[in-house]
Amino acid sequence: MDGFKKGQVEKLGREVRLMQGNQAIAEGAFYAGARFYAGYPITPSSEIAEECSKRMPQLGGVFMQMEDEIASMGAIIGASLAGAKAFTATSGPGFSLMQENMGVAVMGEVPCVIIDVQRSGPSTGLATKPAQSDIMQIRWGRHGDQSVIALCPATVSECITLTVQAFNFAEKYRVPVILAPDEVVGHLRENVIVPEPGDLEVIDRKRPADAPADYKPFAADADGVAPLAAYGSRYVFHVSSSMHGPEGYSNNNPANAAWRVTQLHRKIEMHRDEIVLTKTFDTKDADILLIAFGATTRASRAAALELRKRGIRAGVLQLVTLWPFADKEVALLGQRAKTVVVTEMNYSGQVAGEVRKVLGSGADLRRVNSFNGDIITPQDILKVIR
Amino acid sequence: MKYLKNGVLPHMWCPGCGVGVMLGALLRSFEELGYEREETVVVTGIGCTGKSDDYLVTNALHTTHGRALTYATGIKAFNPKLHVVVLMGDGDSVTIGGNHFLHAARRNMDLTAIIINNFNFGMTGGQFSGTTPGGMFTQTSVYGNPERGINICALAEVAGANYVARATPYHVWEMKTNIKEALNKKGFSVVEVYSPCPTNYGRHNDMKTAADMLHWLRDKGLPIEEFNRRKAPEKEGYFAIGKLVDRDDPDFNERYDQIRAIAQKS
């Protein structure tokens, strides 16, 4: 039950419920205060939309089924600027459609959450089968140079807690945040402890405090983030996808563009340590480091336990945050280990490439990949370790 | 004019362009209707018309090409108290944005869409758009447009808009009347503004001066009653102006309120 000791759950007096990953994502969103969902159905994410269609009106929020994913992304940005915590959910083909408008959320610094329940491609691919092959698209899918925050749950419990975390990062840093479970985790059913109000931290965006006439929606505070007003408040403000100055109006001055591009990256860079989340299992003395994320975390943990039984010191580094990349964490643990294994459901080794960048060409880096819709088993991982 | 930003004039639109005239009519409408800046959001897309937001001090959101209605939908659905106005060109609204236009009308979103139709993609240099009539010459139809143009008002009517009107910068007072009616109307309201584009469209099609294009609007625009009175051959080459559709179907927010009531009872 994700770190709780026997008897602890009962002591806490919390409800335990069998939940599906996608359902749990929706629960996490409601817990975080999300009251606007706009989306388009797509396997394997549609359960999220269905939950929202039932619960949003009950909560006094809005559920809209938009005509496509492009419209869904536009609608959640509009709703967010009108003051809502807003999100959408999709999978590969829909995620591709969302890229252009996602860039507006980056440029306009609009908090929102995008769920990508990763499925097997390329293109229409195997719609009902899992993959972890959108990792680079999540990082680089928008044209132009943009930094992004992305998280990946490996358990149904993390589907709740990381969705809340995604909203918190979105609100705190005024960014779109991608939560990208694979289809395995999205459709998995596990017991979860249902959090009560107060159990998990919920962060709301900074609101302006100055006089309305002085408000500049893109003039950052010392923490790199400007307060965000809402349409309909006493603050009148301007948001633009075009290059703009601190007050939001078009500005083609090169010095302004340099400042603005830098600021959009810096506000994530300067909080990197808070944003990059990892979990480690048995890594203190590990000779073999298994790096994984999402569903492959489960197989890696099982493989590590089996290796330990055989007297081999193995540990697991779970990437909870996909982007920014956990370079410091990988370096620290990877350099201590003799062998590093990166397990991911894609052909190109999208995460292995980032690990190689950190550890260098001399490291004993081995890859376990699947790209046929099948999940990776512990046995698959054990095969690469002699 | 309390909605106009200080120090931005002269604006960037070409001599003879209708966008400035439309914007003037819009801001006068805001004034006459007593709209506060805080409760007004202007959403624009990409193109000549899409540059309007740079001149305004209402709330504004300058979005991506063809998608303005989707952002506006999110704003209005979450905060129904806001006046949400969407400014688009013919490219933005019914070419790349055709799908969103259809569904905004189908949902009867309580938005006011003001569309400058100058029959081409002006900002990118005058290529043909979804409204360019067949046979007309543009940067990408140098032998004449092989396609037909779509009728924005007819599209809006069929898709379910509560209010549809057509205006021109020549018929500037009527345009302001239509804009005010559209702003006041609950549900999806469309004001299509046929506009000169002397720099691109006019130049390629024997209407080289702004005056030439305004004459065309004056001579070929018929009040809807007159247009309807004429039989088919006499309509050839003319277009109807004025209020074309006026109905009071429930808008999206009214319908969704009913859903919330059902959801909260169960």
Full-prediction pTM beyond 0.95?
A: yes
Any CB–CB contact under 8 A between B259 and chain A? Answer: yes
Is domain A277-383 annotated with CATH 2.60.120.200? no
**CB within 8 Å: A239 and B61:** yes
Question: Which tokens belong to A98?
Answer: 């969302």
Distance between CA atoms of A347 and B147, rounded to whole angstroms?
Answer: 44
Q: Considering CB atoms only, which of B60, B74, B259 is closest to A76? A: B74
pLDDT at A7: 64
Query: How far, CA to CA in Å, does A315 sit from each of A59, A281, A333, A383?
Result: 43, 6, 10, 16
Q: Across chain A, where does the E strand assignment appear?
A: 16-20, 36-39, 62-65, 86-90, 112-116, 119-120, 126-130, 149-151, 176-179, 189-193, 238-240, 278-281, 288-292, 314-319, 321-323, 339-344, 365-369
Distance between CA atoms of A329 and A335, rounded to whole angstroms?
Answer: 10
Residues of B whose CB is below 8 A from A54: 263
Residue B11 near residue B55 (C-beta atoms within 8 A): yes
pLDDT at B21: 96
Residue in chain A lying closest to B3 (CA): A236
A59, A67, A87: best mutation site toward chain B, by most B Cβ within 10 Å? A67
pLDDT at B266: 83
Per-residue pLDDT tens digits of chain B, which is 266 residues long: 799 999 999 999 999 999 999 999 999 999 999 999 999 999 999 999 999 999 999 999 999 999 999 999 999 999 999 999 999 999 999 999 999 999 999 999 999 999 999 999 999 999 999 999 999 999 999 999 999 999 999 999 999 999 999 999 999 999 999 999 999 999 999 999 999 999 999 999 999 899 999 999 999 999 999 999 999 999 999 999 999 999 999 999 999 999 999 999 98
Any CB–CB contact under 8 A between B9 and chain A? Answer: no
Q: Considering CB atoms only, which of B71, B81, B260 is closest to A78? A: B71
**ipTM for the complex?**
0.97
Of B97, B43, B96, nearest to B71 (Cα)?
B43
Residue B84 near residue B75 (C-beta atoms within 8 A): yes
**CB within 8 Å: B103 and A62:** no
Annotated domain spans of chain A? 8-193, 277-383
Residue in chain B lying closest to A240 (CA): B62
Fold of A8-193: Rossmann fold (3.40.50)
**CB within 8 Å: A74 and B5:** no
Q: Considering CB atoms only, which of A74, A230, A236 is closest to B37? A: A236
Residue A315 near residue A300 (C-beta atoms within 8 A): no
Any CB–CB contact under 8 A between B79 and chain A? Answer: yes
Any CB–CB contact under 8 A between A228 and chain B? Answer: no
What string of DSSP letters covers B75-138? HHHH-TTSEEEEEEEHIIIIITTHHHHHHHHHHT-S-EEEEEE-SSBTTTT-B--TTPPTT--B
Domains along chain B? 19-265 (3.40.50.970)
Residue in chain B lying closest to A251 (CA): B54
pLDDT at A302: 98
Backbone φ, ψ for residue A214 (5° rounding): -95, -5
- Return residues 41-60 of A near B (CB < 8 Å): 54, 57-58, 60
Per-residue pLDDT tens digits of chain A, which is 386 residues long: 455 566 666 667 789 999 999 999 999 999 999 999 999 999 999 999 999 999 999 999 999 999 999 999 999 999 999 999 999 999 999 999 999 999 999 999 999 999 999 999 999 999 999 999 999 999 999 999 999 999 999 999 999 999 999 999 999 999 999 999 999 999 999 999 999 999 999 999 999 999 999 999 999 999 999 999 999 999 999 999 999 999 999 999 999 999 999 999 999 999 999 999 999 999 999 999 999 999 999 999 999 999 999 999 999 999 999 999 999 999 999 999 999 999 999 999 999 999 999 999 999 999 999 999 999 999 999 999 97
A349 contacts: CB under 8 Å, gap ≥ 6: A342, A367, A369
A277 contacts: CB under 8 Å, gap ≥ 6: A151, A165, A320, A321
Any CB–CB contact under 8 A between A257 and chain B? Answer: no
**Secondary structure class of B26 (helix, strand, coil):** helix
Distance between CA atoms of B22 and B175, rounded to whole angstroms?
Answer: 8
**Complete edge-to-edge strand list for the sheet that includes strand A112-116:** A62-65, A36-39, A86-90, A112-116, A176-179, A149-151, A321-323
The residue count of chain B comes to 266
Do the domains spanning A8-193 and A277-383 agree at the CATH topology level? yes
Backbone φ, ψ for residue A270 (5° rounding): -75, -10
Of A381, A374, A354, A318, nearest to A154 (Cα)?
A318
- Return residues 25-54 of B near A (CB < 8 Å): 37-39, 41, 43, 51, 53-54
Query: How far, CA to CA in Å, does A154 sit from each of A187, A298, B153?
Result: 12, 7, 51
Q: Across A77-204, where does the E strand assignment appear?
A: 86-90, 112-116, 119-120, 126-130, 149-151, 176-179, 189-193
Q: How far is CA A205 from the centre of its chain?
A: 18
Residue B136 near residue B205 (C-beta atoms within 8 A): yes
A325, HSE (Cβ side, Cα atoms, 13 Å):
19
pLDDT tens for each residue of B24-75: 999 999 999 999 999 999 999 999 999 999 999 999 999 999 999 999 999 9
Helix (H) or strand (E) holding A353: helix A350-359
Distance between CA atoms of A383 and B254, rounded to whole angstroms?
Answer: 61
What string of DSSP letters covers A132-166? ---HHHHHH-SSS----EEE--SSHHHHHHHHHHH
pLDDT at A1: 41
